[in-house]
Amino acid sequence: MNPTAAERDTAWPALPFSEWQATAETLQLWTQIVGKVRLTLSPWINHSWHVTFYLTARGLTTSPIPYGLHTFELRFDFIDHHLQILKSDGQQHLIELRPKAVTQFYREVMQGLAELELPVKINLLPNEIPDGIPFDRDETHRSYDPEFANRFWRVLVQADRVFKKFRSRFCGKCSPVHFFWGSFDLAVTRFSGRPAPPHPGGVPRLPDEITREAYSQEVSSLGFWPGSAASPTAVFYSYAYPAPTGFAEAKVSPNEAFYSTQLGEFLLPYEAVRKAASPDDALLDFAQSTYDAASLLGKWDRVALDEAHLHPPRA
């Protein structure tokens, strides 16, 4: 059953980047500070899966992070607007999310961890942001609009839900649905099972060896990105690495989807999804048609990988 217009607008709110750019840029840096805590303390997992965040019923979480015989977790709450640090011995610490400079947020996070006897030192340079300012010196980014932070989270909730439905159709190696704080996007990635040629690298403030390891295997990836100053449009995206011959010319759905030669991927404006009669169907059509283009043109073993061969147990 398709949602009513009111239900759709609540679940899939408008997210014009120009109206929350300052908050988005500040929030991305805050998530990087928290993400680097997980990066510093977690064992390495292939494709950098040990650094990502996950959706919760109230925001984003690092998931449990090991610390000696303890574990702890950092949770962004975009309803009550705080960062919660939870430790396995029952202690916790709250940091208010409100307009404040990145340097102040950084100090508050480090102080909160120290008070819980979880001291850590992180790399202070932002990743994947050209000309980024070290966290402990950034007085420039200091915006936080709770309404738009909440809208952003609500969009992620819907994308996460639909991405998981799409993920369930595949029985090969597939990533979780996770949020990358470096690129500030939500993604799920399918793998063909074959190695890929070395990636050229070149991502700003990200070592090439990290990028090459992440793309060491052939993939088809689906994601949501809220936009940036250089490209201020929220979009769903889908790309293949390596892109098979004819991928850019493939016909995909829905009609609003198009191939960006600049980015080398298919894009579907978020507005087209939120205004569709059934946003779920529009997004699933985009996900399936772009995966079909990547996997069929790339000659993936669809017989072995697709959902027809999944046999979930019955109660």
Q: Which pairs from 198-203 meet CB under 8 Å and 24+ separation?
A: 199/241, 203/128
- pLDDT of res. 306: 85
SS3 284: helix
Q: Quick one: CA torsion of 91, 96, 101, 107, rounded to 10 degrees?
A: -10
The torsion angles phi and psi of 96, rounded to 5 degrees, stand at -70, 135
Closest alpha carbon to 57 in 160, 187, 146, 144: 160
Handedness of CA 206, 208, 209, 213 (dihedral sign): positive
| pLDDT tens profile 132-144 | 999 999 999 999 9
Q: What is the pLDDT of residues 74-117, one digit of tens each?
A: 999 999 999 999 999 999 999 999 999 999 999 999 999 999 99
Unique residue bearing structure tokens 């090459």: 212
Rg (CA), the chain: 20
| Per-residue pLDDT, 308 | 61
| Share of the chain residues as helix, strand and coil, in percent rounded to the nearest 5 | 35, 20, 40
pLDDT value, residue 310: 56
What's the pTM value of the predicted model, to 2 decimals? 0.95
Is pLDDT of 1 > 80?
Answer: no
* Averaged pLDDT score across all residues of the chain: 95
**Phi then psi for 66, rounded to 5 degrees?**
-75, 145
Closest to 75 measured CA to CA, from 89, 64, 60? 60
In degrees, to the nearest 5, what angle opens at C-alpha 52 toward C-alphas 197 and 143? Answer: 120
Tell me how far apart the alpha carbons of residues 219 and 173 are, in angstroms, rounded to a whole number.
10
pLDDT at residue 7, rounded to an integer? 85
- In which band, very low, low, confident or very high, does the pLDDT at 315 lie, cut at 50, 70 and 90? low
Task: Tell me which residue of 132, 127, 152, 131 sits closest to 19, measured CA to CA.
Answer: 152
pLDDT of residue 226: 98
Reported as a single tens digit per residue, the pLDDT across 260-285 is 999 999 999 999 999 999 999 999 99
Q: Which two tokens stand for residue 191?
A: 């793998």
Reported confidence tier of residue 2, pLDDT bands at 50, 70, 90: confident
> Can you give the residue ranges of every domain in the chain?
12-137, 159-309
